[in-house]
Amino acid sequence: MVRLYNTLSGKVEELQTLSPGAVRMYSCGPTVYDYGHIGNFRTFVFVDLLRRFLRQSGLKLDHVMNITDVDDKIIRNAAERGLGVREYAVKYEEAFLEDMRWLGLEQPEHLTRATEYIPQMARFIAQLTAKGLAYKTEDGSYYFRIAKFPEYGKLSKKDFAGIEVGARVDVDEYEKDNARDFALWKSPKPGEAFWETEIGPGRPGWHIECSVMAREILGDSFDIHLGGEDLVFPHHENEIAQTESLTGKPMARFWLHCRFLLVEGEKMSKKLGNFYTPRDLLLMGHKASAIRYLLTSVPYTKQLNFTFDGLKQAAHSVERLRTLKNRLEKGKFPAGSNPKMAELASATKSKMRAGLDDDLNTAVALGAVFDLVREANTAADAGELKKDDVPGLIAALHRFDEIFNVLEDRDGAVTRAALEWGKSVGRLTPEQSAPWESSLSDAQIEALITERNEAKKLRDYARSDALRHQLADAGVILEDTKDGVRWKRK
């Protein structure tokens, strides 16, 4: 019996799906303006574990994850580099999908891009407006009228009784606690990318994307909506307001949120120098399986404190599991069977099951599998693990790995791919002793610098910035001096 903590009810509840035997779910995907960090991947690994666990529980999966390929940061970064929105975002989208593969995450049944659902978003906003739930401002933007949705606040348990009617929020770049009418659609600012639609030119707000893509594929109501804890408010609260005020039906029955990952006890930030992407860790020589294992090791409802000691421990744990599997597959054991080993295999399976049934308690499941590792090794050392016990023990490990996915050793291939990437962007550290190779020759670098000087003379700053970024991506550092531009390789 699968039980999950539902943020909406504030309780652990039994999962009953709308259609028997199948689960329809939506998880908020990445905003692809940069490489994903390990905090993001804590949430994505949690979603992957849930997928695998629900499948093991006999449910057919129908899972949508969006890729937010348009937002303020993407538009700004793309413009700075003289690129189109999609052209800019696709690089990070591909990197994200590659990170998913490297960390052993399954692709959801549907991956949807915001930029592919713009007309549907405009339609949705037109319908909200026709019902008086949204309004257009003078500049052509649209806002949701939260005073029209009395249940506003039911997910985040915030009280909006005293809210000022018509007060607006103009930013949608992760506004955190503005209890105000929020933007559904933003009219274009000069020089910004926009779409021409039935409600006028502009681009969608962040929240409307998820409401629309979820409804297009999963329908008005579905089973589970997932994301990191920072999404409870305002993102998911706003999704509920938009969808439920339009359809009059509950959007999702379960709302699950993954607690944040901290690094060495602190919030991860570039400023503190404790900001890591999976790619950074791979280039430092850590294994993909250890990263995945560490991210799964703490139940999703508890804060996970990432430390390098923890990562080392995780690598050691993966090694112990693989060593036992190898021993069972390749070792020689006396003929016969030991009933204690059959008991051990079956007790491990039921303990894992009970742990995961209890709101995906991965710590209990891991505890059970390590009891098996210890006891099977002790029995084998004493000659008490017999030939006929082997298949049962391997089956228990297999059951574990259907969810945790760390037993098969893909680490070498992932590390090689990460090193290739590190080389291509000039990010290899000297300790890795791989000689850094610029993808550009000296002559090519000089030619790009001349081109950049000319662009600057013509005041084409978009072009000159794009050239500077191209050089930076190839590991070339420019110094503007009074005698002209000097350059060196990183």
Q: Using CB under 6 A as the criterion, which residues of the chain lie in contact with ligand AMP when the complex forms?
A: 28, 30-31, 39-40, 42-43, 227-228, 230-231, 258, 260-261, 268
Quick one: 236 or 423, whose CB is closer to ligand AMP?
A: 236
Q: Helix H segments across 5-84?
A: 38-56, 72-80
Burial category of 86 from C-beta neighbours within 10 Å (exposed 0-12, middle 13-18, buried 19 and up): middle
Q: Helix H segments across 195-287?
A: 206-218, 237-247, 278-283
- The yes or no reply on residue 232 touching Zn ion (CB under 5 A) is no
Tell me the residue nearest to ligand AMP as measured from the CB. 228
- The yes or no reply on residue 214 touching Zn ion (CB under 5 A) is no
CB-based contacts of 307: which residues, under 8 Å, 6+ apart? 263, 264
3-state secondary structure of 411: helix
Angle between helices 362-381 and 339-357 (to 10 degrees): 170
Burial category of 458 from C-beta neighbours within 10 Å (exposed 0-12, middle 13-18, buried 19 and up): exposed
Separation between Cα atoms, residue 352 and residue 36, nearest integer Å? 30
CB of residue 204 to ligand AMP, shortest distance in Å: 15
Quick one: 27 or 317, whose CB is closer to ligand AMP?
A: 27
39, interface contact from Zn ion, ligand AMP, none, CB < 5-8 Å by kind:
ligand AMP
For residue 85, CA distances in Å to 70, 75, 77, 281, 468 come to 7, 6, 9, 29, 19
CB of residue 262 to ligand AMP, shortest distance in Å: 7
For residue 249, CA distances in Å to 182, 212, 219, 232 come to 21, 14, 11, 19
CB of residue 197 to Zn ion, shortest distance in Å: 20
- The yes or no reply on residue 224 touching Zn ion (CB under 5 A) is no
Quick one: 263 or 397, whose CB is closer to ligand AMP?
A: 263
CB-based contacts of 487: which residues, under 8 Å, 6+ apart? 445, 449, 471, 476, 477, 478, 479
210, interface contact from ligand AMP, Zn ion, none, CB < 5-8 Å by kind:
Zn ion
192, interface contact from ligand AMP, Zn ion, none, CB < 5-8 Å by kind:
none
112, interface contact from Zn ion, ligand AMP, none, CB < 5-8 Å by kind:
none
Helix (H) or strand (E) holding 126: helix 118-130
Q: Which of 268, 310, 272, 266 is nearest to 292 (CA)?
A: 310
* Window of 26-34, 251-259, 402-410, 462-470 that interacts with Zn ion by CB under 5 A: 26-34
Quick one: 32 or 210, whose CB is closer to Zn ion?
A: 210
465, interface contact from Zn ion, ligand AMP, none, CB < 5-8 Å by kind:
none
CB-based contacts of 207: which residues, under 8 Å, 6+ apart? 172, 182, 184, 234, 235, 238, 239, 242
Tokens 């004493």 sit on residue = 382
CB of residue 380 to ligand AMP, shortest distance in Å: 39
- The yes or no reply on residue 252 touching Zn ion (CB under 5 A) is no
Is there a contact between 423 and 369 (Cβ–Cβ < 8 Å)? no
Please give the residues from 143 up to 182 whose contact with Zn ion meets the rule CB under 5 A.
Answer: none
Among 210, 318, 324, 360, binds Zn ion (CB under 5 A): 210
Quick one: 210 or 294, whose CB is closer to Zn ion?
A: 210
CB of residue 225 to Zn ion, shortest distance in Å: 8
Among 25, 28, 224, 449, binds Zn ion (CB under 5 A): 28
Quick one: 214 or 294, whose CB is closer to Zn ion?
A: 214
CB-based contacts of 354: which residues, under 8 Å, 6+ apart? 364
25, interface contact from ligand AMP, Zn ion, none, CB < 5-8 Å by kind:
none
263, interface contact from ligand AMP, Zn ion, none, CB < 5-8 Å by kind:
none
Quick one: 210 or 304, whose CB is closer to Zn ion?
A: 210
* Window of 28-36, 154-162, 296-304, 423-431 that interacts with Zn ion by CB under 5 A: 28-36
Tokens 């090193």 sit on residue = 419
Instruction: Give the pairing type, strands 222-228 and 252-258.
Output: parallel
Cis peptide before 150 (omega within 30 of 0): no
CB of residue 341 to Zn ion, shortest distance in Å: 47
Q: 317-336 mask for Zn ion (x: CB under 5 A)?
A: --------------------
260, interface contact from Zn ion, ligand AMP, none, CB < 5-8 Å by kind:
ligand AMP
CB of residue 210 to Zn ion, shortest distance in Å: 3
43, interface contact from ligand AMP, Zn ion, none, CB < 5-8 Å by kind:
ligand AMP
Sequence length of the chain is 490
Quick one: 213 or 448, whose CB is closer to Zn ion?
A: 213
Is there a contact between 215 and 7 (Cβ–Cβ < 8 Å)? no
Quick one: 184 or 261, whose CB is closer to ligand AMP?
A: 261
30, interface contact from ligand AMP, Zn ion, none, CB < 5-8 Å by kind:
ligand AMP
3-state secondary structure of 458: coil
